[in-house]
Amino acid sequence: MQTAQRAEFVCVEDYLEGEKASEVRHEYIDGVVYAMAGSTDDHNLIGGSIYAALRGHLRGKRCQPFFADMKVRMEFATHGIFYYPDVLVACDSRDTAKDFRRYPQVIVEVLSETTERTDRREKFLYYTQIETLQEYVLVAQDRLEATVFRRANKWVPEIVRKSEDQLQLPSLEFAMPLSAVYEGVKL
C-alpha cells in the first residue's frame, strides 16, 4: 500500500518565477503546484479555432483574447489559485500584469477525459466567483457539444449540439457556428 506524500508549500512569488523558466505549465492551488498534461491535436484545433475567431472579432477593440499560456489568478480567503484556461478574453483595464489576468470576461475550457470533472465542478465554482466573468464555456472534443454558462442566466447551462447552431457570447457581441469550432476535428 502506498502512502500519500505531503506536498511542499510553494509561495505565489516562487510559483510565478518558476513558471517563467519551466517548459511544463503548472497550475497552482493554495500553495500546491500541479503539472499539466499535454494536449491532443483535436484539443488544439478546437481551442485555436475559437481563439482565431475571437482575435479577428476583437481586433481594434479594448478586449484581448489569449490562448493556452495566459493564467487566470484568483484569490479567495487564504487561497491563491492560478489556472491556465484554453482561451480567455480580458477587457478590464485593471489587468496590468504580463503573465496573468485577474478580471477575465470570458473563459473557455476544452474538455478531455482527464479534465472534464475538474472543469465542470472545481473550475466552475472558482471561475463563476470572478466579478467580471460573464460567460464560461466548456467545449467537448469527443463530440459536437458546447456548454455555455452565463452570469446573465444565473449560470444555468445552455447546450449547443447542432453544427449549424451558433456558439454565442453576447458580452462580446460574438457568435460562430459550431461547425467552425470543430473545423478539422475528426469526431
Most confidently predicted of 1-10, 22-31, 163-172: 163-172
Average pLDDT over residues 152-165: 97
Q: Do residues 181 and 50 touch, judged by C-beta distance below 8 A? A: yes
> CA 166 to CA 185: how far, in whole Å?
17
Q: What is the pLDDT of residues 42-99, one digit of tens each?
A: 999 999 999 999 999 999 999 999 998 999 999 976 679 999 999 999 999 999 999 9
User: Is residue 4's pLDDT more than 90?
Assistant: no
Provide the pLDDT confidence category of residue 7 given band limits of 50, 70 and 90.
low
CATH class given for the domain over 40-69+85-181: alpha beta
Where do the structural domains in the chain lie, given as residue ranges? 40-69+85-181
State the cell numbers at 138: 466548456
Q: How far apart are CA 86 and CA 95, in angstroms?
A: 18
SS (HEC) of the chain: CCCCCCCCCCCHHHHHHHHHHCCCCEEEECCEEEECCCCCHHHHHHHHHHHHHHHHHHCCCCCEEEECCCEEEEEECCEEEEECCCEEEECCCCCCCCCEECCEEEEEEECCCCCHHHHHCHHHHHHCCCCCCCEEEEECCCCCCEEEEEHHHCCCEEEECCCCCEEEEHHHCEEEEHHHHCCCCCC
Average pLDDT in the chain: 93
Is the pLDDT at 166 greater than 70? The verdict is: yes
pLDDT tens, position by position, 137-151? 999 999 999 999 999
